[in-house]
Amino acid sequence: MPFNSIPFKTTDQAVHTLPEMNLVEDKLHRVLAGPDNVMTPMGIHLLSAGGKRIRPMLAVCAGRCFSPLTPEMVTAAASVELIHMASLVHDDVIDHSPTRRGKPSLNALWGNHPAVLAGDYLFAKAFGLLASSGLVNCLNLLVETIEDMCQGEIQQAVTGFDPDITEEEYLERIHKKTAVLLAASCKLGGLAAGAEDNILEALGEYGRSLGLAYQIIDDILDLTGQSAVMGKPSGQDLSLGNITLPIIMLLRDRKHVPLLETALAGRPAKILEALHSSGALLEARKRAQAHAEKAKASLSGFPASPYKDILQSLPDIALNRTS
Ligand code: IPE
Ligand code: IPE
Ligand code: MG
Ligand code: MG
């Protein structure tokens, strides 16, 4: 399949038509569908499922704010998407999830064993891309990022079903499992553009705040969204014992604790009602809005450009997304 026939499901037209993203898509295509080996059918399946490509877009836009397009930027952008894909493939195995990006997950089609190894393969491909381009600083940053992501996922696994989890613990967890990769995506773009340290710091701050907002919205959508729109199952977090921000907001009033117990036992109707009527969902959304505002403010020192405009618009797109 040619790369430009892959469905590219972003919610914003400016982002959708960013020409640099065709080069990233091309690179992903060459990595995943190029060499004909045992991984190729899974690679083609992953490509055909698309995805919003937020992380490579961040890398490209961050880089383009400060430099003309370079091959290193495209490489960095493709590598962060490969890391993201790897983490989703593993996440779907861990969560026994049957769908991803509107298609059956790799574990659903090939089984857990090949899916875990396919995730490992994607990590290896990401490292290979950076190493073969001599992008050692990008490689180091991504390795640190993956360490954090693993820690965040492990933290989630060991704190599952705990009604006493605090907002701070939740923030620490989503910082590690999600925000660090968005921050790294921005910083990789900046590194590929040769940006200075203060710029890299601002890019990291932007990506981190955007990432926190992004995961809070994902957690809200898990409770309120439609699986057909999201392309992945809704209601998964509660069924897996993953206590997210809306629930933490609800449990500030301890009278709701029995509702959580009922929900964790597989009957979520009452807690969903309480999440709406108590204002807990709204509270969680306000937290996401605050992080989105902080993300936008981090860009204040950047020179005006269409790429800065996209970065400026992404936090609002993240807040309003339905998938
Ligand atoms: C899903 O990420 C996992 C989270 C960190 C919330 P995305 O919502 O960016 O997923 P794709 O790449 O568009 O499928
Ligand atoms: C994000 O968390 C997963 C990763 C960071 C890999 P979720 O478990 O909420 O992601 P989805 O909802 O399955 O996409
Ligand atoms: Mg999941
Ligand atoms: Mg989720």
164 closest CA partner among 251, 284, 258: 251
235-258 per-position pLDDT tens digit: 999 999 999 999 999 999 999 999
For residue 34, pLDDT over 90 is answered with: no
Residue spans of alpha helices (H) in the chain? 13-16, 20-33, 40-49, 54-64, 71-94, 106-110, 112-132, 136-158, 167-174, 180-192, 197-224, 227-230, 236-239, 245-250, 257-264, 269-277, 280-297, 306-320
Q: What distance in angstroms lies between residue 254's CA and the mean position of ligand 1's atoms? A: 32
pLDDT at 35: 77
Q: What distance in angstroms lies between residue 141's CA and the mean position of ligand 2's atoms? A: 21
> Ligand 2 within 6 A of 145 CB?
no
Band (7; pLDDT cuts 50, 70, 90): very low
d(CA 221, CA 323): 8
3 closest CA partner among 31, 28, 39: 28
> Ligand 2 within 6 A of 156 CB?
no
For residue 12, pLDDT over 60 is answered with: no
> Ligand 1 within 6 A of 185 CB?
no
For residue 191, pLDDT over 50 is answered with: yes
For residue 11, pLDDT over 60 is answered with: no
118-153 per-position pLDDT tens digit: 999 999 999 999 999 999 999 999 999 999 999 999
pLDDT at 17: 76
For residue 8, pLDDT over 70 is answered with: no
Position in ligand 1 atom list of the atom nearest CA 91:
3
Q: What distance in angstroms lies between residue 219's CA and the mean position of ligand 2's atoms? A: 9
> Ligand 2 within 6 A of 203 CB?
no
Residue identified by tokens 């290896």 is 124
How high does pLDDT run on average in the chain?
94
Band (36; pLDDT cuts 50, 70, 90): confident
For residue 4, pLDDT over 70 is answered with: no
Q: What distance in angstroms lies between residue 68's CA and the mean position of ligand 2's atoms? A: 33
**Ligand having the closest approach to the CA of 49:** 1
- Going by the DSSP 8-state scheme, the letter that residue 254 receives in this structure is G
> Ligand 1 within 6 A of 218 CB?
yes
Q: Please answer whether residues 81 and 24 qualify as being in contact, where contact means their C-beta atoms are separated by less than 8 angstroms.
A: yes
pLDDT at 15: 54
Q: What distance in angstroms lies between residue 33's CA and the mean position of ligand 3's atoms? A: 25
pLDDT at 16: 60
pLDDT at 304: 97
Nearest CA to ligand 2 atom 8: 91
For residue 258, the tally of other CB atoms under 10 A from its CB is: 12
Nearest CA to ligand 2 atom 14: 88
75-131 per-position pLDDT tens digit: 999 999 999 999 999 999 999 999 999 999 999 999 999 999 999 999 999 999 999
- Residues 6 or more apart in contact with residue 121 via CB below 8 angstroms: 39
Position in ligand 2 atom list of the atom nearest CA 178:
5
> Ligand 2 within 6 A of 88 CB?
yes
> Ligand 1 within 6 A of 101 CB?
yes
> Ligand 2 within 6 A of 232 CB?
yes
Q: Which of 181, 218, 227 to mutate to test the pocket of ligand 2 (most atoms within 8 A of CB)?
A: 218
> Ligand 2 within 6 A of 218 CB?
yes
